[in-house]
Structure 1
């Protein structure tokens, strides 16, 4: 019966330090298993206190980030709303001016044509309809603002996920941390002094840090209250102003229409004055709203500056504390113990199994309290696990998918402490089972990574016998491999010497990929990076397509995605840039060397985002030298892409 296999182990040490897992006690796995873990505990009161401080700092930073994001969104919405309102009021002003001109024309024409009265009445009705349309547009704009707010709320979850990814990146990018520390040189000096003092007098530093954190917490609480007040008051103020202006505008227009009908026969300059007064009132109201918005924006900018400064300071403290402890991250359980906020955040982390070299591993921070270090994960069949001794020694695969952590790492993690090995199996039908061993030891390479397990418990029948059978077969296989390895090694060495001799004899003839394929027919169908000598002197690594139309195509440009910038300088296009196995440009000089003396065919292949493909071929393809500005000559088109 087919199973997918997950291996894991748990470090357990007798200490008095705080932990979410009991000492020497194997832990079961949740329904989303397929992981294994290492857990180790040490007695370090100082680390516990710093852990608590880091927990508080993380919560404060996340709250600040959320509030700053909300403020920025509200400011953008408010600016957009005011801009739209200004446009509406300006349109109304223009309409009033147009009505004024129409009134003057109507006054001159009333004496000779009473039909102008009916036309004026129709214009009034049109204005009323426009007013209704304007009101409907205002309602629509408000609904759009509410929709944008709702979308912003939904995007907060994505922002939190992004922050989680950034936290993982903080763990794995020491270079970025160094840049941050260099930009804060004065703060780094003060921080180093604090840590030196911390090592001499722990209690003094703890009190000092706690006091500063309390002050910062009070300041942040004040900022939070101010932000809350602004978030509560600003929308109401803006809505009230807009409502008042709209009501004033509607009332004035209604009054204007009544007076127009009543006094149409005796229009005079007083009516024009009324319109001017109405326009002035609208302008004054708009100026008042603009002034209030400007004051609000200024206050929010000042608040954003304070919040940004506080967040930067907290982030530097967090990074510095992490640097102080990073070599203690022997496994995932210690990462979780020193960073409780990581609980539930499964993903790729960096550990230091020998406290010197780093290793990226997958940590299960959820199952049975979290802190599990996954030593093997086989999710699907996309990764080949039939590997060499060296690959199993060093590890292989992708830590976030199918991978083996490496025998040397497992030996480092298990050589000095008691361990628990947990094996989880899952049928293709979805049925799951597990087995745990309270003793788990892996020897070093000299001892052929000898496996020792004992103390079985679980719900998988026959796994003990299966494991013993596997161990016996492995021992027998190792003996046979040792006997064969010397013979195979000698044969491989001889073949490699012959292959290198043949290659060195022919290498200057490998002008392009077509010659490589002609001289080495076994490379047919083996697309990949090869070395050519376009001028029979200097070499160039290029990507060869050994499959399409018989193979032997030298790829001069490859654009798989948008991760590489193709807006480059003349020199970069001359010499080439990018990664030959991904996005790259081979270089204008190389193309000139390839096309100057030999007839070449240019093939262009395009693919839309929908998956639809097309191609164009040119039987003549020449690129001149730099002196001729790399002049391009193509002719003899065929294909299914427009030749233009």
Structure 2
């Protein structure tokens, strides 16, 4: 990492502009003088060098990150600084391109004006010659010579401006290359930081809070993380969210990350495919009693596999009510993948789940704040082994969490 930052930040961020052969910039002991650069590019390039100096200081700070408590903030600061530099250089290119277009337009207008005046004078001289007015011919001829002299001076100015345009074109090329290198550098830095501090799961240590998780195939999304690295994938506690939903909702996820929610089957598939995970389930009854179920392996198949459930060995205090659902496909009210021949279990039990015939556990069922279903119904939040298969019981608290088995 150190050699990478030293090379890319010290070498091309500080020296790239000064190393170019463009005649508009020369650096002497780190100083840029205005008489070495056209006035309309001096302020731009001066600020570029100043910003490059800031980036060099950030690069030096990064070398000592391993000894700083706030190293994550410095990493983010470095990436943000380079991203701002990239955006700034794009604006520089835009400004210089506009300047070039303006100069080209000015040259064209001046040349057209002088040429038009000369043509008018020539026509006037021809007309006066026909009238044998020698004095007027002499006066107009002198005026014509004056204009031709001015045109010659303008030609010299045009040549100077053309040289300036060529220099600025070279500068645009240099800045475009610089931007390309910045983009490649930012991409490489981001990849390296992801390797150093993986963002595809919760941090292993830190305060419990909502964190941003990044998956290549999914993008960035938010998820609740505990202080010891568990990522909450489902939560129930007040009945504020409807879990009787179609396939699309369960695939993408729904609800409030600070309230009741389901994270989404596609996210679960990508996370558990990339790394082995374990599953921890907290359960609570209306009387305040709690328990847990832990599975040492947890994996969800792809959508083509109907997000089939794979779990490992159970241990806990509530009994293994999920074991019977091992290797079962996910079923929702609009997609029946269960093994029941007569009905769709998700419709009868009020929520998507890895049903069989139909369920021995159903944590996405209907929420009953009283802890009991109504009219002896069996569509509540259930975990059969915890209350001796009395299916009229309904849990009032559920939290499903996963964590990578290796960092």
Give the shorter-chain TM-score range. Answer: 0.3 to 0.5
Structure with greater helix share of residues: 1
**TM-score if structure 1 supplies the norm length?**
0.25
**TM-score if structure 2 supplies the norm length?**
0.38
